[in-house]
Structure 1
Amino acid sequence: MVAFLGMGLLGSNFVRAMINKGGQVQVWNRTHSKAQALEQYGAKAYPAVADAVKGASTIHLTLKDDASVDEVLGKAEPGLMAGATLIDHTTTSAQGAIDRTKAWAQKGFTYVHAPVFMGPPNALDGTGTMLVSGDQAAIARVEPALAKMTGKVLNFGNEVGKAASMKLLGNLFLITLTGGLSDTLAFAKSVQITMDEIYSLFDTWNPAGMVPGRLKRMTSGNYSSPSWELSMARKDARLMMEAADKGSLTIIPAMAAKMDKYIADGHGGDDWTVIAKDNVPL
């Protein structure tokens, strides 16, 4: 028997997919009506979380944050089967995952943090990416079930909390990408570029393919053979800010300020990716 706690869009579609594959699932949500809505698909909803986990050898969670995970697991504890496995898909801090892994192991339970890069449609279709790290024996036991939930399970090794950090890294990229696109739209609006014109550009020019090469360039440590000098990139940033409506850009002004710092330090003639020089991991 499996229990699933947290019936948001992601959790509810995970449950539907499990039922579609013949699983029996007990569900709980803080707003009970959301859990009850899954009963039409064959789930069993419980108003009390301790009742929802009774008899379940595996408990999945998709909640809001560290605090909500700790709160819900604390309330579920009286109903937990001895030795149950807790699989947490919530995006949390790395330290939270580390602390929970240790605390629940001391109580005789296995806690596995398995955050995801998946939207609700992926959860229903069993596609997307799930991240894990930590005790490899525990991961080996749960990985077959996790593989059924997602298209790919990425194992980042023995370090507890590494999966949490990798999830936040990915989300950071998505946030900054969306911020950049927001600036792009704001600039386009200011200079009367239409959406059709934007789409025509990106249908032909796909910068996504540049990411691996750009990362290698940024982390190479060699910025002395520029393909685009930092001073020229800064000039373009100035032109962007001058052309855009005042206050409409968010990312570009911050980037311009960082460029100014590196230009003041003598890097104006270097490749513009030098602005990442002090951020490169070991």
Structure 2
Amino acid sequence: MSTNRDVTIAVLGTGLIGAPVARNLHKQGFTVHAWNRTAAKAQALVADGVKAFGSLAEAVRGADVIVTVLNDGPSVEAAMQAAAPALAKGSVWVQLSTVGIEGTDTLATLAKQHGLVFYDAPVQGTRQPAELAQLIILASGPVEQRSVVQPVFDAIGKRTVWVTEQIGASSRLKLALNNWAFALTHGLAESLAIAKGLGVDPALVVDVVTGGPMDSGYFQAKAAAILAENYAASFSITNAVKDARLVVDAADQASVQVDAARAGLRRFERVLRAGHGDKDMAASYLA
């Protein structure tokens, strides 16, 4: 009977999400290869038992599963094209990055060209859930290989939502969920800013909401960060701009009117232009 130790996983991209994903896979007994464009980030995982590689071909060689956790669609596509000579036909490709509808279609086509089994599996959650293996995986893909990918999902997340066999459905769902996260972020940031602007202690907004129907763990975490002026990134403004654009573009294609989403994108863009791209998206408050 095979075990996780018999499975080699190549994690391409070891940033805020990719690094804890690689660590948690190793903790569950998988052999983990890691690659990152900034080599030092992959090398930092060696102390945790992960094998770091300087080239994409070396990282994917011998891997049963390739997991991509890169910034955007073009980055994922470029990495997999560079890795192509070492990819084994029949390997499983688990695509965790948020790349939008067109990006997912492009990557699924690439997978087919190289004989890979493709799973569209963006995650719900940021740095802290990733570190705690508490991500929610939104998975779409063929039924036949789900027994291969489910242990991977179980190692990095608390729940897997199998959306459908249709590739791209998960990425569509992720855009809807991201829109909700952005709306919550902007709503909180503006409410605290309004209180301060009107001469009221913003902490009183949090006090009134706490324990009531509008309260949530997300509300508390982002409010605490804003009040403490602590914008260490769990999900950066730069990434928020990228994902908010994907939401608006997808809505345009579907002829869905998204006034709040457009306004939220403009707000994130304003914060980005002000030089806060590396800060957490709670820095919407700084707009």
Question: Structure 2-normalised TM-score?
Answer: 0.69
1:117 matches 2:124: yes
1:43-62 → structure 2 map (5 Å cutoff): 43-62=50-69
The answer to whether residue 166 in structure 2 is matched with residue 185 in structure 1 is: no
Unaligned runs of 5+ in 1: 210-249, 256-282
Q: Equivalents in 1 of 2:211, 2:54: separation in Å?
A: 53
Q: Which residue of 1 aligns with 2:87?
A: 80
Structure 2 counterpart of 1:53, one-letter code: V
Aligned equivalent of 1:199 = 206
Query: Given the alignment, which residue of 71, 85, 91 partners 2:78?
Result: 71
Alignment equivalent of 1:127, drawn from 131, 134, 141: 134
Task: Please tell me whether residue 39 in structure 1 is matched to residue 29 in structure 2.
Answer: no
Which aligned runs of 4 or more in structure 1 are off by greater than 4 angstroms?
none
Distance 1:161 1:139 in 2: 16
User: For residue 23 of structure 1, what is the aligned residue in structure 2?
Assistant: 30
- The one-letter code of the counterpart of 1:137 is E
Q: Could you tell me how far 1:184 is from its partner in structure 2?
A: 0.5
User: Which amino acid counterpart does residue 179 of structure 1 have in structure 2?
Assistant: H
**Alignment partner of 2:196: what SS?**
helix
1:8 alignment partner AA:
G
**Equivalence for 2:9:** 2
Aligned pairs for 1:110-259 (under 5 A) are: 110-207=117-214
Question: Given that residues 133 and 156 in structure 1 are in contact (C-alpha distance below 8 angstroms), is that contact kept between their aligned partners in structure 2?
Answer: yes
Conservation of the 8 A alpha-carbon contact between 1:88 and 1:111: yes
User: 2:135 and 2:38 mapped to 1: Cα distance?
Assistant: 27
Which residue in the other structure is 1:233 paired with? Answer: none
1:199, 1:21 → 2: CA distance? 39
Q: CA deviation at 1:204?
A: 4.4
CA contact (8 A) 1:136 1:157 kept: no
Q: Aligned-pair distance for 1:111?
A: 1.5
1: CA distance, partners of 2:98 / 2:116? 20
Q: C-alpha distance in 2, partners of 1:203/1:83?
A: 51
Q: CA RMSD in A?
A: 2.1
Once residues 142 and 39 of structure 2 are traced to their aligned partners in structure 1, the CA distance between those partners, rounded to angstroms, is: 34
Give, as a single letter, the amino acid of the residue that structure 2 aligns with 1:185. L
Larger Rg: 1
- Asked if the contact 1:54–1:79 (Cα under 8 Å) also holds between the matched residues in 2, the reply is yes
Q: Distance in 2 between matches of 1:204 and 1:10?
A: 30
CA contact (8 A) 2:28 2:155 kept: no
Q: Secondary structure at the match of 1:156?
A: strand
The letter of the residue matching 1:110 is V
Equivalent residue, structure 2, for 1:11: 18
Query: What code does the residue aligned with 1:9 have?
Result: L
Residue 98 of structure 1, CA deviation: 2.5
Q: Mark the CA change 1:134 to 1:19 in structure 2 (over 3 Å): closer, same or farther.
A: closer
Query: 1:104 is matched with which residue?
Result: 111
1:192 alignment partner AA: G
Displacement after TM superposition at 1:101 (Å): 1.8
**Is residue 34–residue 42 contact of structure 2 (8 Å, CA) maintained in 1?**
yes
Tell me, yes or no, if the aligned pair for 1:13 and 1:121 is still in contact at 8 Å: no
Give the structure 2 partner of residue 263 of structure 1.
Answer: none
Q: Which amino acid in structure 1 is aligned with residue 155 of structure 2?
A: K
